[in-house]
Amino acid sequence: MRFSLLVNAAADSAAALTALHTAQALLDTPDHQLHCLFFYRDAVHLANRHAWTGDGTQANAAQQWQHWLARHDVNAVVCVGAAQRRGIVATDTDNTLAEGFSLAGLGQWAEALISSDRVIQFG
């Protein structure tokens, strides 16, 4: 079964970590496939390579997502429009997008919906 996850949860939301734990559980289940992770709205902050480095939940969630994606070959897509509005990708020379994430528009999310058996939304 192919799953896609829509992550809308802000980095300081418990739902951001719930989405991460769900993604891991899907990878660990033999008959499930994680087709696409789509980060939208405030969830784009999870893809900021310069996440605040304090002890807060926001940094914790962003760092956990970034470390997890570095270890797994998963299609992690950040909405380009939402990222630009939040300063994640202000210009081509000022790209703060963390490794493991790619940019795409809502059209790619629509394609993921068509290709998935199930969709789960967080946030």
Q: Which residues are catalytic?
A: 79
What do you get for the CA distance between the two ends of the chain, in Å?
Answer: 23
Q: How far apart are CA 68 and CA 23, in angstroms?
A: 10
User: Residue 100: left if φ>0, alpha if ψ -120 to 50, beta else—which one?
Assistant: left
Local structure of residue 98 (DSSP, 8 states): P
CA distance 118 to 3: 5
